[in-house]
Amino acid sequence: MSRLRLRRCILTFSLALTTVRPTFTSAQIVTPAQQSSCARYHETERCQQLVNEFYVAHSLLAASPSVPLDQPWGDTVALGDKMAPKAILLQLSTDLKAQADQAAQKALQTISTSAAVTQIGGSPSTSGSTNLVTKPTTTDFLSVAAESGAFTDTLNGNALTLQANGLGLTKYLTNSPVFVRWNSGLADRLQPLNFTVSMNVAQSGSSTVPTTGSANASTPTSIASVILPANNTSFGSFRAAYTIYRPYNPQDKTFLANWKKAIAANQSFLNSAGSAIKVALDALIGPDVIQAMSGNLVTAQSEWHQAGAASERQDNFDAFVAAYATYDDAVCDYILSRSDAPKNALGLSRALDAFNAAVYIVLNQARGTPLATVSYTYSTPASKPATHDFTAVLSELFREGREIKDASGKDTGQKDSTRTFLSGAQLTGNFTASLYTKIPTGATYGRFRDLQASAEFDKPFGGTIAEPRGVFSVAGYGQYQYNPTVLNITSGNLVPGTNISLPANAQVLLGTKGWIGVAQGKIAFNISKGLSLPVAVKWSNKTDLTKGNDIRGQLGLSYDLSALSKLISSKD
Amino acid sequence: MTLQPGSFAASDATGSNETITLQPVSPATSTGASIASAFYGNDASGHPKPSTVAADQKSLTITVTSGINSLVITLVSPNPDDETVQLCQGSTVLATPTVRNHSGVSTIFIKGT
């Protein structure tokens, strides 16, 4: 056995040359067929290890009394991920439901990427929005907001806004646990993608309805139609946004230097995450459990060895995975059969997620802060022509505490966890270009509607940095309009003071071209996890249809479905 | 004395100093993964005891203590691709964790005799 081990650990290259099948070039590459076998037996996370054992260490299983795969905790993350759904079900099915709910909530708070001040509600161009500035981040999954108010519009609007995150939505639609970190490179690409749809609600309007005749003698028979008041809900806008990070290459020397620097800067954070994993693992798998396994799982281990060795002789990878999956399940079930095991398994999952989150911070520091978020918005404001809006969002987060100095008083480049005035604060800037979707024949205005620039400073208050009681914001907005506002005149309208009907595409210009300036103060109260109430007051030098100062309030209510603990497990 | 692999825990003489190295799995000849932290056993107050990690973060050293204790090793990698690595003590492969999406965790139970 020892000889075989020696070969595996030191002479790995020569083994690869002598035992690997001609079609197999790398132990690190898993073919679609192998992936399919692993997925069929719920061993996706161990697929590389199984491929390595089957192809590179071929026949080792038959010759050795033990192999690394015998101990599933050798890949603690794979073990934790395998046990977590079972642990949640076990926990929920016992009288410990309350603790499970609490555990799930804590996991959500750990996993949530919404540590920054996020966008709740619609973008500034949305009717009724309470946001004067668009934020770079929104929800981890889905959020819904109802808002009332106006910034540059003369008339108040009411909007219902639904936001979705590309990663959260993909995980939900593929029946994956929404709040468990996806160990896939695809996750990094989907996370920065967000969608927003806004609906104009409680929108007053009118519709023309033909009459079927006079109801009494005093009514002229010439009245063929009447205008009825209407209260409509209509599509307001659609927005797609993507956060752009500095591209990185793991082979790039600068990135690798930054990676090492970020590891060093976060070493204490990584240490505490590693320590927490050990505490959680020891609670789940103590020495007594290991001791007891020797007596209770010997048969299961022996069967896996026999079936695994047979499948290697038959060159049947699928059977090999099946044999291991049976053993892996037996180990998981045995660990979870202890009274406190489900709770402790959830504890381990939380600790592993916290470590994942710590590594994610390291990665983000190594590749730098987000450069920008770019977004496209298609808007159909009430009684106005539709527009295409292109926005760039720049943001700076202030997360850290005070600088840590060494014994000689020099900055170490690290910061402690002291809460300062800027801790958790965020500065966001927007630049938007708005174009009309189409210009009717003979229009007296051009394609460009306006240019907008805005900035907002957000300062969380109360609670903790991760979960403040609320966020106070001040924002400024400037919009240069190339022409007066274009207003659609619907076919049911008559020229004022006359009975002359207008054509369907009639438009008029109202207000004046030039600058509109808006200043806003806002407080968003975080009523509970996921639920917030933004209240704002704005001042503007004019509105789109009228001249003169305007002071107005905005109110909203939003809920982030990321906080729904029941979605923590897949619907198996 | 070296760590002897077992069915559920490796074993070694109490008091032995052992070095565990992080190595690539064939056919790779190098790995970008590194050891972020390692904890083995508990200190007098019951808190996890940090192990000594080499400056290059490719190996760690422990002194085997009596009874069954866990050695928890956290791994990080700048490489976004999944990569299976091996943790070896001398000629013995103790674990083959996969580093996924920049991070991985491995546990090895060691019985000090």
- The Cα of B59 is separated from the nearest Cα of chain A by a number of Å equal to 14
Alpha-carbon span A224 to A216, nearest angstrom: 14
At A385, list the tokens. 């022509």
**pLDDT classification of A105: cutoffs 50, 70, 90:** very low
Spell out the long-range contacts of A507-511 with Cβ–Cβ below 8 A and sequence spacing 24 or more.
A507/A385, A507/A440, A507/A443, A509/A444, A509/A445, A509/A483, A509/A484, A509/A485, A510/A484, A510/A485, A510/A544, A510/A545, A511/A154, A511/A484, A511/A485, A511/A542, A511/A543, A511/A544, A511/A545, A511/A546, A511/A547
Residue type, A483: N
Alpha carbons within 13 angstroms on the beta-carbon side of residue B94 total 26
Helices (H), A285-442: 287-296, 298-313, 317-336, 341-367
Q: Which of B21, B80, B25 is nearest to A48 (CA)?
A: B25
- Kindly list the distances between the CA atom of residue A458 and the CA atoms of A58, A396, A455, in Å, as whole numbers in the listed order: 59, 11, 10
Nearest to A290 among B9, B38, B103 (CB): B9
Alpha-carbon span A139 to A141, nearest angstrom: 5
Does residue A230 carry a pLDDT above 50?
A: yes
Least confident of A101-110, A254-263, A472-481: A101-110
Instruction: Quote the percentage of chain A above a pLDDT of 90.
Output: 21
Alpha-carbon span A120 to A534, nearest angstrom: 9
Alpha-carbon span B104 to B101, nearest angstrom: 8
**Chain B residue numbers touching A26 (CB-CB < 8 A):** 27-28
Name the residue with tokens 């600790």.
A351
**Chain A residue numbers touching B47 (CB-CB < 8 A):** 275
Q: Are A231 and A202 in contact (CB under 8 A)?
A: yes
Q: Which residue has the higher pLDDT, A381 or B53?
A: B53
Does residue A26 carry a pLDDT above 90?
A: no
CB contact under 8 A, A71 and B38: no
Backbone angles phi, psi at B47, to 5 degrees: -90, 150
Which residues of chain A from 204 to 263 reach within 8 Å of chain B, CB to CB?
A: 250, 255-256, 259, 263
- The Cα of A393 is separated from the nearest Cα of chain B by a number of Å equal to 26
**Chain B residue numbers touching A45 (CB-CB < 8 A):** 98, 100
At A227, list the tokens. 């205008």
Q: What is the pLDDT of residues A123-134, one digit of tens each?
A: 777 767 777 777
**Chain A residue numbers touching B5 (CB-CB < 8 A):** 1, 5, 66
- pLDDT the model gives residue A228: 67
Q: Are B98 and B84 in contact (CB under 8 A)?
A: yes
Q: Which of A285, A519, A263 is nearest to B8 (CA)?
A: A285
Q: Which residue has the higher pLDDT, A185 or B20?
A: B20
Nearest to A49 among B50, B78, B96 (CB): B96
- pLDDT the model gives residue A22: 32
**Chain B residue numbers touching A15 (CB-CB < 8 A):** 26
CB contact under 8 A, A48 and B72: no
Which of B107, B110, B111 to probe by mutation at the A interface, max A CB count within 10 Å?
A: B107
Over residues A166-184, mean pLDDT: 75
Alpha-carbon span B74 to B57, nearest angstrom: 11
Over residues A145-152, mean pLDDT: 75
CB contact under 8 A, B72 and A363: no
Least confident of A6-15, A112-121, A440-449: A6-15
Name the residue with tokens 């060895």.
A305
- Work out the end-to-end distance of chain B between its first and last CA atoms, rounded to an integer number of angstroms: 11
CB contact under 8 A, B103 and A77: yes
Over residues A271-286, mean pLDDT: 93
CB contact under 8 A, B27 and A25: yes
Q: What is the pLDDT of residues B30-84, one digit of tens each?
A: 888 999 999 999 988 889 999 999 999 999 999 999 999 999 999 999 887 888 9
- pLDDT the model gives residue A18: 33
Does residue A473 carry a pLDDT above 90?
A: yes
Q: Where are the domains of chain B?
A: 10-112
Backbone angles phi, psi at A14, to 5 degrees: -70, -35
CB contact under 8 A, A49 and B84: yes
Which of A43, A47, A75, A299 to probe by mutation at the B interface, max B CB count within 10 Å?
A: A75
- The Cα of A266 is separated from the nearest Cα of chain B by a number of Å equal to 10
What domains are defined for chain A? 2-109+253-362 (no CATH), 112-204+227-245+370-568 (2.40.160.40)
* B87 SS3 class: strand
Mean pLDDT of chain A: 77
- Kindly list the distances between the CA atom of residue A83 and the CA atoms of A78, A239, A396, in Å, as whole numbers in the listed order: 9, 38, 39
CB contact under 8 A, B92 and A293: no
Nearest to A75 among B70, B83, B106 (CB): B106
**pLDDT classification of B88: cutoffs 50, 70, 90:** very high
Over residues A352-379, mean pLDDT: 82
Mean pLDDT of chain B: 91
Least confident of A260-264, A381-385, A468-472, B104-108: A381-385
β-pairing, B103-112 vs B10-12, is parallel
Q: Which of A547, A549, A538, A418 is nearest to A147 (CA)?
A: A538
> If 0-12 CB within 10 Å is exposed, 13-18 middle and 19+ buried, where does residue A566 land?
exposed
pTM for the structure as a whole? 0.58
Q: Are A37 and B92 in contact (CB under 8 A)?
A: no
Alpha-carbon span B97 to A207, nearest angstrom: 67
Nearest to A278 among B48, B87, B92 (CB): B48
Over residues A75-103, mean pLDDT: 71
- pLDDT the model gives residue A565: 44
Q: Which of A277, A287, A281 is nearest to B66 (CA)?
A: A287
- pLDDT the model gives residue B14: 93
Buried b (16+ CB within 10 A) or exposed e, A19-55: bbeeebeebbebeeebeebbeebbbbbbbbbbbbbbb
Nearest to B68 among A26, A287, A356 (CB): A287
Q: Are A352 and A76 in contact (CB under 8 A)?
A: yes
- pLDDT the model gives residue A212: 78
**Chain B residue numbers touching A255 (CB-CB < 8 A):** 78
Does residue A108 carry a pLDDT above 60?
A: no
**Chain A residue numbers touching B54 (CB-CB < 8 A):** none
Instruction: Quote the percentage of chain A above a pLDDT of 70.
Output: 72
Over residues A54-62, mean pLDDT: 74
Q: Are A154 and A547 in contact (CB under 8 A)?
A: no
At A137, list the tokens. 């981040």
Does residue A500 carry a pLDDT above 50?
A: yes
Does residue A474 carry a pLDDT above 70?
A: yes
CB contact under 8 A, A13 and B104: no
